Structure 1
Amino acid sequence: MPTPTHFHQIAHLPGRSIDIDGQEYLYFSGTAYLGLPHNPAFQDLIQEGLHQYGSVYGSSRNGNLQLTIYQQAEQKLASWAGADAALTLSSGMLAGQAAIRQLMLEGYEFSYSPDVHPAVWHLPQVDIAKETFEHWIENTLTTLHTTNRAANRHQIALVTNSVDALRGKLYDFEWIKSIPEDREVVLLVDDSHGLGVTGTGGRGVWERIPKRKNVRLIVTASLAKAMGLPGGVIFSDPASLHRIRYSAYFGGCSPVAPDHLYAYVQAETIYQDAYERLQANIRQFTDSIRDLNLLSFTDNYPVFYSGRDELYPFLLERGIFIYSFSYPKPTDKANTRVVLSAWHTPDDIQKLSAACRDFAALYL
């Protein structure tokens, strides 16, 4: 029987199903929450963009010839997310590192919450909190309240995720209101697993974070997950993004492929329809397994975590492939979770639900 660390190889892009050695499996893994990689209408828009812009634009964004699609896409992203401004890069990892490097240049010291995404690590030295997210908040607020600004001249950047995607848990940010008014801090939030899925209509975490005059907000995210785009984005105030935009780090980066940004600008109804299909799938699944005590999850979020790693081989024998491997390091404990997408059908969800109920009846 395969173990959670057993790896399979396929020669095609995963969709609602995959083929492993000639056998079809329903696919409940990955991060394509809105199902856009296999969405025919979205693919058509990419083809239109490909004919207009080609497959890649390898020039610096700060060159003396610039494509208008970048400004159009960034304005649309910022307006949609409710942010002041947006800046795109060629990956979520690059977006996180561009933000972190700029804060390093500005002299900030970093306080990291548990399980923070590697995209926003300050390398080579990263001191990730070992306590729970709630304890990290408590300790952070205690430090900010007991260490006055005159005694501690260090500038502090609080770095965290918007969600615990490994365990299907959305983080609450009401604690921002408790930061003392005499402490100016930066809050850097990685929203890679939230943008396109959480918030009103999938707009992400920006609207969920209380705005404070003494808290500079920077949100980074991969666009390659729910949004279906090979790139990343930084949301912040215009001044912060201006400093990143005209840094040597950003100037030396190749940008997002413009054909995909063209598709994004044209795809508003496609995103809306995919979000609604995803939410319908989430409701169907949660209604059917809520009583099992098998999976932990947050309502309206497509990730369902299980501490029972044996769920993976059990479902695999029944033609269902789910996420189960060590992350972010190979030495970490295997993480087993079910991930829903907009591309799943009601029959797919029903089959998954029935198999989960069978597992619970045998082992719980």
Structure 2
Amino acid sequence: MTNHFSIDHLPGRTINLDGQEYLFFSGTSYLGIAQNPSFRAGLAEGMARYGTVFGSSRNGNLQLRIYEEAEAKLAEFARAEAALTLSSGMLAGQAVVSWLKAQDFGFIYGPNAHPAIWQEPTLTLPQLSFDAWTRQLTDLLAAATSQHVVIAVNSVDALFSLDYSFDWVNQLPDSQQITLLVDDSHGLGIIGPEGSGIRSRIPDRPNVRLIITASLAKAMGLPGGVIFSDSETLNAIRRTAFFGACSPIPPAYLYAFCQSQNLYLSAFKQLVENIRRFENRVGSSDLFQHIPDYPVFYTAQDRLYSSLLSNRIFVYSFAYPSPTDKPNTRIVINALHRPEDIEQLGEKLYGKTG
């Protein structure tokens, strides 16, 4: 079993364990926003203006304009028609699922679909590859008893660094009304053009309504979640009691986001540069499973964790999503890493170059 450590500071490119510095190749702060001095300065400005929290319903009779301003910028960033924010990615997913289930739509779940986009506590997800599952979709849709069917999937497999193609959307039948619900928590900010997420990779179909949900607490560095869809859909979700009862994201963070558009682009470019540096170091090695230009490098060799730890390099390795699952071991590159950090990691894995 992987040891668990406790620290009293925020991880960045390094952490401090028992008075010693370790390189940190873990976590989900892919763009390093939480440790970015410019973002933190913008956050301080936001807190001076908005305080630490706004504990009111977004549907109240007094509203803060920053929410609409930030949602417009998020929609533009993600190449979506509109956006709606909530206080977590889990709430974003559950707000959508609750609204869809209230309409008695049938659900078809993809492999490893994130718990944010399903409600059944004992749901059994398909135990096959994503490609194999898509080949079964025609039969699954034909067997559906509901006229309107929801297909709920992730945008990528971040656990095992597997890419998903969405070309199968073009093969969906024209005769059914379908909602495609995609969790993009591990894609928003780091895949797609300039980190815009999965939207540009999903074909448009007249009978397929697209809803994308995501945690903003990963690459985007914001304590909240977001829903992307058409304005009519988001207005309907906003009118639900579920949404009305939710406290919103602290407005100071959205203010900082609005002031930081160039920062996100700069961090994305740095992240890609860091990933490619490590990709060059990995070369044709079969030690890792990896999506090109993606910051997660999965390995089935769990012993790699203890080996790197003994060399003061801390990587991701623990059971997820439940404590009974097999440990998932992966190296995560972020935008804060320096060239020498990646070279040191490569040296411990493969020895000195040249």
Which interval holds the TM-score relative to the shorter structure?
Answer: over 0.9
- Runs (4 or more) in structure 1 with deviation over 3 Å come to none
Question: 1:127 aligned to 2:120?
Answer: no
Question: 1:353 aligned to 2:350?
Answer: no
Deviations 1:273-316, CA, capped at 9 Å, x for gaps: 11111010001000111222111101110000000000000100
Greater displacement, 261-270 / 118-127: 118-127
- 2:33: which partner in 1? 36
Distance 1:154 1:125 in 2: 25
Q: CA deviation at 1:127?
A: 3.1
Question: 1:88 aligned to 2:81?
Answer: no
- 1:64: which partner in 2? 61
Q: CA deviation at 1:154?
A: 4.1
Equivalent position SS for 1:336: strand
Q: Does the Cα contact within 8 Å between 2:147 and 2:176 map onto a contact in 1? A: no
Q: CA deviation at 1:118?
A: 1.2
- 2:241: which partner in 1? 248
Q: CA deviation at 1:353?
A: 1.0
- 1:235: which partner in 2? 228
Distance 1:81 1:104 in 2: 26
> TM-score scaled to structure 2, two decimals?
0.97
Q: Does the Cα contact within 8 Å between 2:281 and 2:346 map onto a contact in 1? A: yes
Q: Check 1:272–1:153 CA distance in 2 against 1; reply closer, same or farther (3 A cut).
A: closer
- 1:339: which partner in 2? 332
Q: Which of residues 47, 52, 57 in structure 2 aligns to 1:55?
A: 52
Unaligned 5+ residue runs, structure 2? none
Q: Does the Cα contact within 8 Å between 1:292 and 1:357 map onto a contact in 2? A: no
Equivalent position SS for 2:12: coil
- 1:320: which partner in 2? 313
Distance 1:121 1:320 in 2: 36
Amino acid in the other structure paired with 2:26: S
Distance 1:342 1:25 in 2: 17
Matches within 5 A, 1:47-196: 47-144=44-141, 146-147=142-143, 152-196=145-189
Equivalent position SS for 2:290: coil
Q: Does the Cα contact within 8 Å between 2:22 and 2:314 map onto a contact in 1? A: yes
- 1:280: which partner in 2? 273
Distance 1:45 1:307 in 2: 40
Equivalent position SS for 1:75: helix
Question: 1:197 aligned to 2:186?
Answer: no
Q: CA RMSD in A?
A: 1.3
Q: CA deviation at 1:125?
A: 4.8
Equivalent position SS for 2:305: helix
Deviations 1:126-151, CA, capped at 9 Å, x for gaps: 2311111112111112333x45x8xx
Distance 1:88 1:313 in 2: 39
> TM-score scaled to structure 1, two decimals?
0.94
Q: Does the Cα contact within 8 Å between 2:105 and 2:146 map onto a contact in 1? A: no
Unaligned 5+ residue runs, structure 1? 360-364
Amino acid in the other structure paired with 2:294: Y
Q: CA deviation at 1:110?
A: 1.3
Distance 1:233 1:122 in 2: 18
Amino acid in the other structure paired with 1:300: D
- 1:362: which partner in 2? none
Q: Does the Cα contact within 8 Å between 1:194 and 1:204 map onto a contact in 2? A: yes
Distance 1:273 1:247 in 2: 37
Q: Report the identity percentage.
A: 50
Distance 1:325 1:318 in 2: 19
Greater displacement, 119-128 / 340-349: 119-128
Deviations 1:150-171, CA, capped at 9 Å, x for gaps: xx44421110100100111221
Q: CA deviation at 1:100?
A: 0.6
Q: Which of residues 271, 294, 305 in structure 1 aligns to 2:264?
A: 271
Distance 1:58 1:143 in 2: 43
Amino acid in the other structure paired with 2:169: I
Equivalent position SS for 1:217: strand
Question: 1:210 aligned to 2:203?
Answer: yes
Q: Does the Cα contact within 8 Å between 2:82 and 2:228 map onto a contact in 1? A: yes
Distance 1:218 1:125 in 2: 24
Q: Does the Cα contact within 8 Å between 2:152 and 2:180 map onto a contact in 1? A: yes
Equivalent position SS for 2:289: coil
Distance 2:182 2:325 in 1: 23
Distance 1:30 1:325 in 2: 11
Amino acid in the other structure paired with 2:64: L
Distance 2:79 2:98 in 1: 25
